[in-house]
Amino acid sequence: MTAVGIDAMEIWTGKLKLDLAETFAPAQGDDPGKYTKGLGLHASSFPDVYEDIVTMAANAAHRLMERKGLEPADIGRIDVATESSFDNSKPVSTYVAGCLEQVYDGDFHHANKGERKFACIAGTQSLDDAYNWIRAGRNRGRAAIVIATDTALYARDDPGEATQGAGAVAMLVDEDPSLVELSTEQGFGSADETDFLKPNQQFPSVDGKRSVNVYLARMREALDDFASQVGDIHPDDYPLIPFHTPFPGMVRKAAALGYRHIIRGTDVEDLVAEEIGHQPMREDFESDDAFRDAIREYTDALTETERYQDWYADTIDPTLEISREVGNWYTGSVHIARAAGLKHAREHGRELDGKQLLVASYGSGAQAEVHAETVVPGWEEEIAQLNIDEQNRKRYNLSFEEYEQIHDVHNHDTNADVEEFTAPDSEFVFDGWGRMGERKYRYVE
């Protein structure tokens, strides 16, 4: 069976930066440690005045096509995943195709386009769709472009405000990929939840504390479902585990749950049992509450062990390196976690050819997906092309007053007239409104 997977990816960050410790915390009267240590975030990215989900998506896709030497005729599918869409009918992918057609001779008239919505998990679902499309033989030799793009804004003074972020990830899904091969091994955990939603409104209604527990509950279900498909799993099977990362502190909790789960019944559980005992079993407790307390105690003790801390440092921490600097990109978040993990591995000479990643996606509302991917030879050259560090360094550092202005600029209910903070350079920009309320875009040389 020919391998199908992610052949290449590009990341485009919003060009503005809000420093959480130096700028946000003092304005909120908070200890910076709440953000840098508690949430694990240092900064958020925001779009400049001329940027939005379309420009970020189109710019990432353009760079992807240029780097891979592609023409529109090579692409049979453009899927955009977003939870920041501004139109209930016309998909963002049509705007993206329209942008790209300004700079290529050909067009995308024969490409299937769509928009996927299921909160942050929609980017992974779009990858699944592209994989299925190629596997089904409907691609006519063409590749798919999957883009996850979001401007993750919360209402001012919402507890989620510190976790905002904006950016796009464009991925080329093709046969014989150069980065990772996708597989049929998947597990799902899905339930009708009201943890985070946007009922016809721009900013989310969030029950923040509950959303954390829903994330963990659905992730536990997805891991169970995944294990039921693949049989016994062991921590040594997966050198990197990229999680959906609304903020790194969330992944700290999810990783502890995941580790406890995947060591169960393995030699690793026996080894840590010498220090902290075996995992509590439900049948040994009279009530669910007592069992839950015992699990919490066991997990706390587990995360204190050297074995866990070494595993976390190797398997989880590298996946958080980009998120820490850019915040939550919703649909793109798990994909920048994968990129960060691979980038770190390349920079530290880790040998990953043929090794598996366990990718743990999540979307509020709510659904988790856990799937395995195989890193393919050539991944180092591919991942070396990312220039996200340079983009992050070049961001304009907002003062708190400027942050307030830019929040208003991107608030659909306000009409803020603010000068741009950076100058566009060889990229698509927002260019005002058309006669039917559509957004217009142009390419700036």
List the catalytic residues: 83, 120, 244
Select from 34-42, 60-68, 295-303, 398-406 the region that touches ligand CAA (CB under 6 A).
34-42
**Would you put residue 442 in left (φ > 0), alpha (ψ -120 to 50) or beta?**
beta
Which is it for strands 427-433 and 439-444: parallel, antiparallel or unpaired? antiparallel
Binding mask 245-284 for ligand CAA (x = CB under 6 A): -xx-xx----------------------------------
> Shortest Cβ distance from residue 35 to ligand CAA (Å)?
8
The residue number whose beta carbon is nearest to ligand CAA equals 38
Nearer to ligand CAA, 244 or 439 (CB): 244
CA 10/CA 372 separation, integer angstroms:
21
Residues 390, 392, 398: CA angle, nearest 5 degrees: 140
Nearer to ligand CAA, 215 or 226 (CB): 215
Phi, psi for residue 30 in degrees, rounded to 5: -110, 155
Cα end-to-end distance, the chain, whole Å: 43
Output the DSSP codes for 156-220. TT-GGGGG-EEEEEEEEEEES-SSEEEEEEEEEEE----SEE-TT-SSPEE-HHHHHHHHHHHHH
Q: By CB under 6 A, tell whether 211 contacts ligand CAA.
A: yes
Q: By CB under 6 A, tell whether 215 contacts ligand CAA.
A: yes
Q: By CB under 6 A, tell whether 163 contacts ligand CAA.
A: yes
Q: By CB under 6 A, tell whether 26 contacts ligand CAA.
A: no
Which is it for strands 396-397 and 16-19: parallel, antiparallel or unpaired? parallel
Q: By CB under 6 A, tell whether 330 contacts ligand CAA.
A: yes
Distances in Å between the Cα of 303 and the Cα atoms of 127, 221, 257, 269 are 33, 21, 10, 13
Q: By CB under 6 A, tell whether 328 contacts ligand CAA.
A: yes
Question: Can you tell me whether residue 428 is helix, strand or coil?
Answer: strand
Q: What is the DSSP letter of 109?
A: T
Nearer to ligand CAA, 133 or 329 (CB): 329
Among positions 6, 43, 58, 120, the unique one binding ligand CAA when judged by CB under 6 A: 120
Evaluated on CA atoms 119, 442, 323, 263, the torsion sign reads positive
Select from 127-135, 240-248, 254-262, 283-291 the region that touches ligand CAA (CB under 6 A).
240-248
The answer to whether the beta carbons of residues 424 and 45 sit under 8 Å apart is no
Output the DSSP codes for 375-405. E-TTHHHHHTT--HHHHHHHSEE--HHHHHH
CA 328/CA 188 separation, integer angstroms:
22
Q: By CB under 6 A, tell whether 151 contacts ligand CAA.
A: no
Binding mask 362-391 for ligand CAA (x = CB under 6 A): x-x---------------------------
Q: By CB under 6 A, tell whether 159 contacts ligand CAA.
A: yes
> Shortest Cβ distance from residue 246 to ligand CAA (Å)?
3
Select from 26-34, 105-113, 127-135, 422-430 the region that touches ligand CAA (CB under 6 A).
26-34
Query: What residues make contact with ligand CAA under the rule CB under 6 A?
Result: 31, 33-34, 37-39, 120, 159-160, 162-163, 196, 206, 208-209, 211-212, 215, 244, 246-247, 249-250, 328, 330, 362, 364
